[in-house]
Amino acid sequence: EVAVKIQRQGLDNLFKSDLVNLRLLAVILDKLDPKTDGAQRDWVRIYEESARLLYKEIDYTNEAKNAERFKENFADVPWIKVPDIYWETTSKRVLTMEYVPSVKINNIEEIERRGIDRKLLAKRSADSYLKQLCRYGFFHCDPHPGNVGCDEKEGGRLVYYDFGMMDEFSTGVRKGLVNLIYSVYENDEVGLCNALEEMGILQPDSDRLSVERISRFFLEDFQKTLKASPEEEKWINQLSPEEKKKARAERRAKLGADLLSVGNDVPFKFPPTFTFVFRAFTSLEGIGKTLDKGYDLTRLAVPYLKELLELREGSVVRAVVKQYAEKLGWRKEDINALVTQPRQVAYISNVIRKLEKGDLKLRTRTLESERAFERSAMVQQNQGKLIVASALLNSAMALSMFSTAPAVASQAAFGLAIFFALQFPLGALKVRSFDKKSKVYGF
């Protein structure tokens, strides 16, 4: 038996008309996005990435190639099934594949009736996606219940369908992602920031000290929650609105200056590809929670760390050797530090001597002063607009009193006066918003 997928007529033209409107919306979002969370989003690039994948999705020869590549990646995993492709009856608008019946992964009643282990299915869905992202860098962008099924084979086999919307990471991004996940579980804020920079998320010229301090705070909170039982500690998305408000207040009290610095500097850049990763994780979280109420991807990923370490170092033996070398202080950097220590002491001594003589000057960043100067500039700009409005209003009145003056000139002056006058209340609201934000962050 086979399953045949036939593309309906006019789909290409429908895409073109819809994408024109979406691009216009992306341009508007680029202009209006305040970026107050410290992340720089390029909405036009996100649109372009989405358009690229959508056009690939309606090319069924491309979908067939994706299915075969995905099948090859998981060839040694018996609990993942990908339908075979029949190339002799497949074209750009017709796809013929093996017919593989299954149960929708969110059909709990049927899954229970067939005796399939729900917790095992939830674990396997998480494991398969971590492998897609970290090991192969080639991942399914749309793993919703319509595209992922299951059956009784292998104790609960996952059946994947619809490989039109697939994407992949570059080698550098995939390596950075492995380092990022490993740094999170190792509580290493410096390694985490290095990984973000490697992935192109953290900009190289950003204020690393503030980002690292914020990372340290969240990593410590993560470790505390991870080590505790689910009853003792909750993740942020499990908190009640009151608990979330309290957590935000505590976070601002501890990290006010750093959060404000990051919000102003916008050190993060949001890569378009991650739009689909976040979307996929949202779908997986929904599937996992449906199958198992105690589903927690962060805890399920802990056993996967051994495989991540192998991926990062290249082999299990090399990973074990590196771990022991780190514990014993036999790493390359440890030996280098020991050998170069006298030179480093001499260098530090030389720097201190120059500071004492005044040859070197330290520059420090004072956010309080920066905020005060910024507020002063806003107030002066607002006052300037009010002065210009007054001057234009006087000019308009003077011109209207002279019969020889053209009416257009007085009307233009009145119009400009109204324009600048309206800028004043808007500017006042901006200053008020600035003061409110400063108060929130403890300034």
**Which residues are part of the catalytic machinery?**
142
- Do the bridges between strand 80-81 and strand 157-160 make them parallel or antiparallel, or are there none, so unpaired? parallel
**Contact between 118 and 291 (Cβ < 8 Å):** yes
Measured CA to CA, the distance from residue 189 to residue 183 in angstroms comes to 7
Burial zone of 437 (CB within 10 Å; 0-12 exposed, 13-18 middle, 19+ buried): middle
Residue 312 CA, distance from chain mean position: 22
Measured CA to CA, the distance from residue 318 to residue 312 in angstroms comes to 10
Amino acid letter, 358: G
Q: Which two tokens stand for residue 2?
A: 């086979």
Measured CA to CA, the distance from residue 80 to residue 96 in angstroms comes to 20
Q: What are phi and psi of 244, to 5 degrees?
A: -65, -40
Measured CA to CA, the distance from residue 349 to residue 358 in angstroms comes to 14
- DSSP-derived secondary structure for 247-267: HHHHHHHHHHHHHHHHHHH--
Amino acid letter, 344: Q
**Contact between 353 and 347 (Cβ < 8 Å):** no
- DSSP-derived secondary structure for 353-392: HHHHHTSS------HHHHHHHHHHHHHHHHHHHHHHHHHH
Amino acid letter, 389: A
DSSP, res 136: I
- Express the helix, strand and coil content of the chain in percent, nearest 5 each: 65, 10, 25
